[in-house]
């Protein structure tokens, strides 16, 4: 059998396919509120100011759920197995999304988006960990990029579902897709590395404190978080509040945040697929991510100060920015590859959710600066912080291309 055929078989294996479909549903649900934010809150009786204030609040509740869920599912992933997280997380966010379709007030809405956030926190980290541990090391970057590239198209599905149906039925659809996926996962097997780790007596697994009791490990953990900051600056600020930036840029036609999110994720899906291939041919995770980060920085400057004058031009820039942050899967892969099998799921699950959780700080800083120095300058300051941290971190983390992952992290 040829090496090419073997590679294709690996990339079409059950763990890759199921992880990709799982991330598809995860992204559908994760981005759904951003798409239905305006119509859902308007139907609940809020005016434009209320939609802006309560929309940011609900988003922060969802992100808080992601932070808590990241810790919960990460620890369980190392203690009980990668598959247990995949099953548990999908049940949680599927039920929560069904419930979101029935909400009649903002307080209940916040509660169910918080619960949905907890559930959504486990999907990507567990999936990337499972794929990283089951694929040959030469194919890890491409495999995880396939997972993210397919998965991120869930944002496109979410947008068109909202366009075709009401926002309540969009939530019901997300819950139904999750339960359908649960059935498909029944035949997937656990990671061999996790199984072999079970033979070690007295080994501490999923010990979150181990990231904070070792100085070098803590630095590495924080640097992995820092790499991802530009990604959620683009999603949480530039794309989510695109309607505000449209007004600041004096674009006469109304900007739809849901459509901006969709084009961002179309670009993100393409970028994620390409980032794995680039990493493969450069034989470097760090150089691939650095290239994408530079592309994103250029796009952010053009978006804010390049004189975009039409709604079409703004949507094009959202696609550009989405493509630029297409190193998302590579970033999670880097996080998974840095740490031993006994805390790998904890790292791969908590780190991306810590990044998502930083949106709370980003939106708070943006809201504080906006009345003082104008929307565009406020967004630029938030972005400057994110990119400075991001470039420093990617240039100082160890290279993990071709790294053997079959090792245990010492206490």
Residue 288 has pLDDT above 90, yes or no: yes
Q: Which helix (H) or strand (E) segment is 298 a member of? A: helix 285-305
Domain annotation covers residue 4: no
SS3 280: helix
What is the Cα–Cα distance from 358 to 390, expressed in whole angstroms? 13
What is the Cα–Cα distance from 344 to 109, expressed in whole angstroms? 33
Domain annotation covers residue 350: yes
* Sign of CA pseudo-dihedral 102, 108, 109, 112: negative
User: Smallest Cα–Cα separation from 411: which of 263, 214, 161?
Assistant: 214
User: 126 vs 318, which has greater pLDDT?
Assistant: 318
Report pLDDT digits (tens) over 5-56.
Answer: 456 665 666 677 777 887 788 888 877 887 788 888 999 888 888 887 888 7
Domain annotation covers residue 6: no
> What is the extent of the structural domain holding 238?
12-186+203-396
Report pLDDT digits (tens) over 350-368.
Answer: 888 888 878 888 988 998 8
The pLDDT score that the predictor gives to residue 121 is 83
Domain annotation covers residue 101: yes
In the 8-state DSSP scheme, what is residue 2?
-
Q: What is the CATH number of the domain that holds 370?
A: 1.20.1250.20
Domain annotation covers residue 196: no
What is the Cα–Cα distance from 334 to 287, expressed in whole angstroms? 12
What is the Cα–Cα distance from 174 to 56, expressed in whole angstroms? 22
User: In the structure, what pLDDT confidence band is assigned to residue 4 with cuts at 50, 70 and 90?
Assistant: very low
Domain annotation covers residue 408: no
Domain annotation covers residue 193: no
Number of domains in the chain: 1
Residues 71-89 have a mean pLDDT of 81
What is the Cα–Cα distance from 402 to 357, expressed in whole angstroms? 30
User: In the structure, what pLDDT confidence band is assigned to residue 411 with cuts at 50, 70 and 90?
Assistant: low
Report pLDDT digits (tens) over 99-125.
Answer: 999 999 999 999 999 999 898 888 777
The pLDDT score that the predictor gives to residue 11 is 60
Residue 98 has pLDDT above 70, yes or no: yes
What is the Cα–Cα distance from 229 to 385, expressed in whole angstroms? 9
Domain annotation covers residue 144: yes
């Amino acid at each position: 059998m040829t090496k090419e055929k073997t590679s294709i078989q690996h990339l079409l294996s059950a763990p890759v396919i199921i992880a990709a479909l799982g991330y598809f549903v995860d992204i559908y649900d994760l981005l759904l509120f951003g798409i239905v934010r305006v119509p859902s809150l308007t139907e609940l009786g809020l005016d434009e100011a209320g939609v802006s204030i309560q929309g940011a609040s609900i988003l922060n509740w969802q992100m808080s759920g992601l932070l808590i869920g990241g810790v919960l599912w990460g620890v369980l992933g190392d203690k009980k197995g990668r598959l247990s997280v995949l099953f548990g997380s999908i049940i949680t966010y599927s039920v929560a999304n069904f419930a979101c379709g029935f909400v009649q007030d903002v307080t209940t809405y916040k509660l169910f988006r918080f619960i949905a956030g907890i559930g959504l926190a486990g999907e990507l980290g567990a999936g990337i960990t499972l794929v990283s541990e089951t694929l040959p090391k030469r194919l890890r970057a491409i495999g995880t990029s396939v997972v993210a590239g397919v998965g991120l198209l869930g944002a496109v599905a979410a947008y068109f579902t909202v366009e075709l149906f009401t926002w309540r039925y969009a939530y019901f659809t997300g819950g139904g897709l999750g339960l359908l996926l649960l059935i498909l996962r029944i035949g997937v097997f656990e990671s061999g590395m996790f199984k072999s780790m079970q033979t070690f007596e007295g080994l501490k697994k999923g010990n979150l404190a181990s990231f904070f009791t070792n100085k070098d490990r803590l630095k590495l953990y924080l640097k992995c978080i820092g790499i991802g900051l530009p990604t959620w600056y683009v999603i949480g600020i530039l794309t989510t509040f695109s309607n505000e930036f449209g007004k600041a840029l004096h674009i006469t036609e109304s900007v739809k945040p849901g459509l901006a999110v969709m084009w961002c994720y179309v670009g993100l899906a393409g970028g994620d697929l390409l980032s794995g291939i680039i990493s493969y041919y450069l034989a470097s995770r760090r150089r691939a991510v650095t290239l994408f980060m530079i592309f994103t920085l250029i796009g952010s400057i053009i978006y804010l100060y390049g004189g975009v004058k039409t709604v079409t031009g703004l949507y094009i820039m959202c696609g550009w920015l989405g493509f630029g942050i297409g190193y998302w899967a590579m970033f999670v892969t880097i996080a998974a590859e840095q740490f031993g099998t006994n805390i790998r799921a904890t790292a791969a699950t908590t780190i991306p959710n810590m990044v998502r959780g930083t949106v709370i700080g980003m939106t708070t800083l943006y809201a504080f600066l906006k009345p003082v120095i104008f929307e565009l300058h406020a967004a630029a300051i938030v972005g400057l912080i994110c990119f400075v941290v991001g470039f420093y971190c990617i240039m100082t983390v160890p290279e993990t291309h071709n790294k053997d992952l079959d090792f245990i992290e010492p206490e």
